[in-house]
Amino acid sequence: MDISVVIPLYNEEESLRELNDWIVRVMQANHFSFEIVYVDDGSSDNSWHVIEELSKAHPQIKAIQFRRNYGKSAALNEGFKQIQGDVVITMDSDLQDSPDEIPELYNMIVEEKLDIVSGWKKKRHDSTLMKNIPSKFYNWSTRKFFGIKLHDMNCGLKAYRNEVVKNIEVYGEMHRYIPVIAKWAGFNRIGEKVVSHQKRKYGVTKFGLDRFIKGYLDLLTINFVSRFAQRPMHFFGAFGTLTFFAGFIIASYLVYTKFFTVSYTGMADRPLFYFGLLAMIVGVQLFLSGFVAEMISRNSPEKSKYHIKETIACKDLGNN
């Protein structure tokens, strides 16, 4: 199979038919063998009913319905488990991503031997204050943290080699950092393509102001995880050792002044004594935290589990 299209969605019943027809039209015009994987993230509208109707007319459709809303990362993670195509395309369900970009994204993966091609919404049809400016700052920060030279890390329109999505796990709110996770897993050939961005035609955005806070918390999290997930002792142990050593130096100085300084008034009467004691205690605690984190990381399950209410399987995986 040439292409798998993974589409996470939440309350997008108005756009689904138009989006599906658009994708099918592009695939047939380019003679791609394909499948479309819809992941309904606990929608409260008729999105699932629309998907069921579409699946009756289009045998290439697969679908997953969550019992509740888990978020975009969970939807992508479950969708990636279902795909069979050599190239995987992810896109949003709100018609702001154009399926007309799919052929060129596919060609960049196949012909240029890239692992990932990330879309760049160079011209955005969003609020300047609420989305455009924060997005520029967020992308600048991410480039500085991880050294991945992408202008639009959070663009939902991306292409991947099958091997990439089968070897990464997306959880929490980490869908914003899939290129970082992929690079961490050893997939370093990352490209970028300017893509068209459409105005939202139906409904309203599902992301509120809290995404700014979550985005930067996730930035710190993924930075820590990418560096120390398999070796937390390197982080906690290093800080614990330095802190304990600082406390030990202070204690040694105070012992010296007790026995070799005539004007010494008493160890417990000096504030420095409590700083040294605190530093040694904190140092020991950090060191022990490193051991505990090592044991947890070596024994924790790797896969997140989500409650799936219903699924739809492809009836035919050939050209259509």
pLDDT digits (tens, 9 = 90+) for 267-319: 667 788 888 889 899 988 888 887 777 667 556 555 456 667 778 886 654 44
Q: Which two structure tokens, joined as six digits, stand for 88?
A: 């995987």
Task: Find the mean pLDDT for residues 163-185.
Answer: 86
Q: Please name the residues in contact with 83: beta carbons below 8 A apart, sequence gap of 6 or more.
A: 4, 6, 35, 37, 162, 165
Instruction: Please tell me the total number of residues recorded for the chain in this structure.
Output: 320
The radius of gyration computed from the CA coordinates of the chain, to the nearest angstrom, equals 26
Beta bridge partners of 317: none
Q: Please name the residues in contact with 305: beta carbons below 8 A apart, sequence gap of 6 or more.
A: none
Domain ranges of the chain: 3-228, 232-298
Return the residue matching tokens 């961490």. 184
Which of helix, strand or coil describes residue 57?
A: helix
**Amino acid identity of 220?**
L
H or E element in which residue 38 lies: strand 34-40
Give buried/exposed letters for 28-57 (b at 16+ CB in 10 A, else e).
Answer: eeeebbbbbbbbbbbbeeebbebbeebbee
pLDDT digits (tens, 9 = 90+) for 95-142: 999 999 999 999 999 999 999 999 998 876 555 555 566 667 777 777
What's 3-228's CATH class?
A: alpha beta
